[in-house]
Amino acid sequence: ETISIQELANRMSERSVDVIKFLMQQGQMMKPGDIIEPDLAELIASEFGHTVRRVAESDVEEGIFNVADNVENLVPRPPVVTIMGHVDHGKTSLLDAIRKTSVVSGEAGGITQHIGAYQVEQGGQKITFIDTPGHAAFTAMRARGAQATDIAILVVAADDSVMPQTIESINHAKSAGVPIIVAINKIDKPGADASKVRNALLQHEVFVESMGGEVLDVEVSALKGTNLDKLLDAILLQSEILELKADPTRTAEGVVIEAQLDKGRGPVATVLVQTGTLKIGDIVVAGDEWGRVRALITDKGAQLKEALPSMPVEVLGMQGTPLAGDRFAVVESESKAREIAEYRQRVAREKQVAKSAGQRGSLEQMMSQLQDTGLKEFPLLIKGDVQGSIEAIIGALDKLGTDEVRARIVHSGAGAITESDIALAGASRAAIIGFNVRANKQAREAAEREGIEIRYYNIIYDLVDDVKDAMSGLLSPER
Ligand code: GDP
């Protein structure tokens, strides 16, 4: 666990200047917001006459999260599916159409409600769909260390074929090691050309069966409801190959799909049970929140006494709202739940302080995402006040490049950061750098919406230094 100099000083009840002075004597120039490694923190602490007790996550959370299943108790569980693909290729339509078929075919009663995921039945077998299409949610969850998805449905419109977000989706699925099933959508359209889609996918190393590969593909029309059962069958087939199993006899563990504060019901978290059985009365920890399960409600509005593996359920009874992607687990007592929640709140606070002090978090986060996708290029979009400074920056960044990692400038230009810069950065997964320029209001809003990082600099050296740090982060093996 790393810590900022400020936080370390606080915890020792020392002044941060004294810590910095000590570091200077050791030949290290640092600022209060700088983050230091545990070893150095320990050295400083003992230098200031403190005994160190490192509270590792494993101490507080020992035996709570990622507890292995007992092999003898494993039984098959339904697959959890996420739908990905290019915008307008029909992800939402497909999710709606699949949900509708299941309602028609009949689980009794209940009005369907959006809880972030739903379950359908095909031939007596269940399939869970994550209800947020696209890879944004998928990536956000993975960034929090959760992998909820077993199978990715790649929707490709037959009249549009492979597009940039199709490729991104492929990369996301591949980097997560999640198998793809291709749904060639909109086959009802006059211009539909399914074989063109299959061919285009070849170039991105998605080999469907008819091309000699192993990736299942199904031609569908979300609009007309064509071949949806074939798609569900393909999912079940794939899931058989994966031999998905869980242990329903143990205490539950899983991931938060979404959560919000409901006026009437208090905090409501939709969780996906990944293993074990979640029961009413269980005490759960999710992220840095905890609670006692008061009610479990399905996507069809049914109240359950318990939820089995791969089931998405709304949980009532949390003390606060956790975040999508947070892992949850059942613990034995309220005091244990509190301890973990408080520990995690403290860690989160420290990270926040470190981030606002050092402004380092996000670039590095972005780098680790890049690494997920296997990229060793660092895409940047650079806006500056004058052409001369932009050229100087690009020149300096060029020099940083190595055989393994380099900056790729997707766009550069003089002037303020605009909405179209955000769109371009979004499409190419680039960070935006503003040198002596700012983003206008629309651009700021768009960046917020799209979760795109804008960094402002007025000293070239600082800029280059940050990029350098981020690049070396990309290369270090422990990330
Ligand atoms: P998303 O952005 O991927 O979620 O795409 P949407 O589900 O919003 O669909 C985009 C547009 O394509 C909408 O106008 C849909 O009505 C249309 N669409 C979706 N599926 C089909 C289909 O199978 N056939 C036809 N003709 N249109 C479809």
Report whether residue 186 contacts ligand 1, using a CB cutoff of 6 Å. Answer: yes
pLDDT-derived band at 56 (thresholds 50, 70, 90) equals: low
* DSSP assignment string, 366-395: HHHHHHHTT--EEEEEEEESSHHHHHHHHH
Count of Cβ atoms closer than 10 Å to residue 103 Cβ: 14
Q: Mark the binding-site residues, compressed into ranges.
A: 85-92, 131-135, 185-188
For the Cβ of 93 lying below 6 angstroms from any atom of ligand 1, the answer is: yes
The pLDDT value recorded for residue 478 is 41
Sorted by sequence, the CB contacts under 8 Å of residue 351 that are 6+ apart come out as 361
Query: Contact at 8 Å (CB) between 366 and 452?
Result: no
Instruction: Give the pair of three-digit tokens for residue 92.
Output: 């939402």
Tell me what pLDDT residue 366 has. 53
Give the closest residue (by CA) to ligand 1 atom 17: 90
Average pLDDT over residues 4-28: 81
Q: Is 357 or 437 the better-scoring residue by pLDDT?
A: 437
pLDDT band for position 299 (cuts 50, 70, 90): very high
Summarize the annotated binding site for GTP as residue ranges. Answer: 85-92, 131-135, 185-188
207-236 pLDDT, tens digit each: 999 898 999 999 999 999 999 999 999 999
Is 189 close to ligand 1, i.e. is its CB under 6 Å away? yes
The question of ipTM being above 0.95 is answered as: yes
Cβ–ligand 1 contact at 188 (below 6 Å): yes
Q: Where are the beta strands (DSSP E) in 136-242?
A: 151-157, 180-185, 217-219
Amino acid at site 29: M
What H or E segment, with its residue span, contains residue 294? Answer: strand 289-297
More confident residue, 373 or 185: 185
Average pLDDT over residues 394-403: 81
Return the pLDDT at 222: 97
Looking at residue 134, its pLDDT comes to: 67
- Average pLDDT, stretch 119-141? 82
Q: Name the most confidently modeled range: 171-185, 285-299, 357-371.
A: 285-299
295 neighbors 280 (Cβ within 8 angstroms) = yes
For residue 473, the tally of other CB atoms under 10 A from its CB is 20
pLDDT (mean) for 74-95: 94
Average pLDDT value for residue range 319-334: 91
- Of 48-52, 348-352, 450-454, where does mean pLDDT reach its minimum? 348-352
pLDDT of 98 reads 94
> Looking at residues 306-326, what average pLDDT do you find?
94
C-alpha distances in angstroms, 368 versus 475, 477, 479? Answer: 10, 11, 7
Which is more confident, 479 or 143? 143
pLDDT of 370 = 53
Task: Specify the pLDDT at position 83.
Answer: 94
The stretch 183-203 carries a mean pLDDT of: 96
Nearest alpha carbon, ligand 1 atom 6: 90
- Mean per-residue pLDDT for 453-470? 84
- Per DSSP (E only), the strands in 62-124 are 75-76, 80-85, 117-122
